[in-house]
Chain A
Amino acid sequence: MTDLTHNEQKSIDYTGAKLGMWLFLFTEILLFGGMFLLYAVYRDVHSADFHEAAKEMSLVFGAVNTVILLTSSLTMALSISAIKNNRRTASMLYQVVTVIFAAAFLVNKFIEWQDHILHGIYPNSPELLAMSHGKILYFGLYYVMTGIHGIHVLIGAAIICGTLILTKQGRITSNDYIKLENTGLFWHLIDIIWIYLFPLFYLIK
Chain B
Amino acid sequence: MKPNQETHIVGTKTFVLVWVALLFLTGLTIEAAELQMGKWSMLANLLIASTKASLVLWIFMHLKYERRLFKLLLLVPIVTITIIIGLTFLDIWYR
Partner-B contacts on A (CB < 8 A)? 7-8, 10-11, 13-15, 17-19, 22-23, 26, 29-30, 33, 36-37, 40-41, 44-45, 59, 63, 66-67, 70-71, 73-74, 76-78, 81, 84-85, 174-178, 181, 184-185, 188-189, 191-192, 195-196, 198-199, 203-205
Residues A26 and B76 in contact, CB atoms below 8 Å apart? yes
Tell me if B's interface is mostly helix, strand, loop or mixed: helix
User: CB-CB < 8 A to A188: which residues of B?
Assistant: 56-57, 60-61
Interface string of B6-30 (1 = CB under 8 A from A): 0101111001101100110010011
Q: How far is the CB of A118 from chain B (nearest CB, A)?
A: 26
Q: Return 5 A-B CB contacts under 8 Å, by A number.
A: A19-B69, A36-B81, A73-B60, A77-B60, A196-B53
Is the beta-carbon distance between B26 and A70 smaller than 8 angstroms? yes
State whether A205 touches B84 (Cβ < 8 A). Answer: no
A26:B19 contact, CB within 8 angstroms: no
Distance to closest chain B CB from A5 (angstroms): 9
**B78 to chain A: closest residue by CB:** A29
Interface residues on B, range: 35 or more
- Proximity string of chain B (58-76) to chain A, C-beta cutoff 8 Å, 1 when within and 0 when not: 0111100011011001101
With A and B bound together, what is the CA distance between A184 and B78 in angstroms?
Answer: 21
Taking Cβ atoms with an 8 Å cutoff, the residues of B that contact A are 1-5, 7, 9-12, 15-16, 18-19, 22-23, 26, 29-30, 32-34, 36, 41-42, 45-46, 48-49, 52-53, 56-57, 59-62, 66-67, 69-70, 73-74, 76-78, 80-81, 84-85, 88-89, 92-93
CB–CB A203/B29 < 8 A? yes
Write out the residue numbers on chain A whose beta carbons fall within 8 Å of the beta carbon of B61: 184-185, 188-189
Give chain B residues whose Cβ lies under 8 Å from the Cβ of A74.
15-16, 18-19, 60
**In whole Å, how far is B13's beta carbon from the nearest beta carbon of chain A?**
11
Given the interface contacts A44-B92, A81-B10, A203-B45, does A195 sit within 8 Å of B36 by beta carbon?
Answer: no
For the complex formed, measure the closest distance between the CB of B56 and the CB atoms of chain A, giving whole angstroms.
5
- Closest A residue to B95 by beta carbon equals A45
Q: How far is the CA of A205 from the CA of B36 in the complex (A)?
A: 6
Among B18, B19, B60, the most chain A Cβ lie within 10 Å of the Cβ of B60
Instruction: Given contact pairs A81-B12, A196-B46, A199-B29, enumerate 17 new A-B contacts (beta carbons under 8 Å).
Output: A7-B4, A10-B2, A13-B1, A14-B1, A19-B70, A33-B84, A73-B22, A74-B16, A74-B18, A81-B11, A84-B7, A85-B9, A184-B61, A192-B56, A199-B42, A199-B49, A205-B36
